A = this chain, B = another copy of it.
């Protein structure tokens, strides 16, 4: 598929013209529009209905210098959640699957670890038992599998893993479990000079290892959770080391704290998919001027996964009620997206 479909003239009209002529017109118009800086937000070829209309309406309203809602480019800040918003988080977040894979390597080297329930469950790929250990058990697994290496080596380890690791339900690479309509939206936001930040509950070292390659979001635009980190000179070599202790969990109200600390401006666009993102959307949309909050609602059991209230993590419940009160856009994946993944 091409993200450029429907860019300027619709496919039906184009198909009535000889192919070459249609392309020629298409390209010429593109260049004229690009040169004039007046490229319209009509490129969301994988979106439809009200969701598409509302997003393109918002982008045009804040980008058009003649619009009463115009926002200067430096203030066009967008914050976007990762798990469940940019890529699939079912049956488990890729970072949890990474932690389980690391735990399996550790068990191979030290079978005594199997005496610990979280290692045993991780070794058996037993998500249910793992989750029954609660947040304490999950944090124990995260910490045990994320500490001890200098940060650069840890990121290299993530890079190697993500190059081949697959979603256990779809057997597709995690990096191919990214939502194509969201990648299309990122591209459109960039064309309209938005400054895009990823605001994820994942850890910085994990997400930065692939965010630039997969989302074109560079390391300095990743706002993430952190293990406490220390600077140490080890054998004469300056090093940053993850400590076995949570430093910061980038979720709920903490996302707002981190967004302010990192960006220093209030965003005008926030996109999330769970109750953990309510504070971020609330902070974003309560500023002055035109703003937009978006929640991605997982409604498509065929093409992706359907879950909200009863999801293990990342529940979407209170968020749906708040969205109504606050006039946030709830994206119905089944209705509003014509395609979800690139391999479909």
List the interface of chain A (C-beta within 8 A of B): 74, 151, 195, 204, 208, 218-220, 222, 226, 229-233, 237-238, 240, 253-254, 256-257, 260-265, 279, 282-283, 286
Contact B261 A229 (CB under 8 A): yes
Q: Which residues of chain B are near A240, meaning CB under 8 Å?
A: 256-257, 260, 283
The docked-state distance in angstroms from the alpha carbon of A233 to that of B204 is 28
Q: Give the number of times this chain occurs in the complex, counting copies.
A: 2
Q: Which of B220, B222, B229, B263 is close to A257, meaning CB atoms less than 8 Å apart?
A: B229
User: Most chain-B CB neighbours within 10 Å: which of A151, A233, A264?
Assistant: A264
Contacts of A208 in B (CB 8 A): 264
Residues from chain B with Cβ under 8 Å of A238 in the complex: 256, 279, 282-283, 286
Q: Which listed residue (B219, B231, B260) contacts A256, Cβ 8 A?
A: B231
Contact A231 B74 (CB under 8 A): no
Q: Which residue of B lies closest to A207 (CB)?
A: B264
Instruction: Identify which of B204, B220, B237 contacts A265 (C-beta below 8 A).
Output: B220
* Least Cβ–Cβ distance between A40 and chain B, in angstroms: 28
A151 contacts B226, CB within 8 Å? no
Chain B contacts of A261 at CB under 8 A? 204, 226, 229
Point out the residues of chain B lying under 8 angstroms from A195, CB to CB. 220
Establish whether residues A283 and B253, one from each chain, have CB atoms under 8 Å apart when the complex forms: no
Most chain-B CB neighbours within 10 Å: which of A238, A253, A254, A256? A238
B256 touches A220 (CB 8 A): no
Q: Which residues of B are found within 8 Å of A262, using beta-carbon distances?
A: 220, 262
How far, in angstroms, from A159 to B238 measured CA to CA in the complex?
38
Inter-chain contacts of A253 with B (CB < 8 A)? 230-232
**Do A257 and B231 contact each other (CB < 8 Å), given the known contacts A204-B264, A219-B264, A219-B265?**
yes
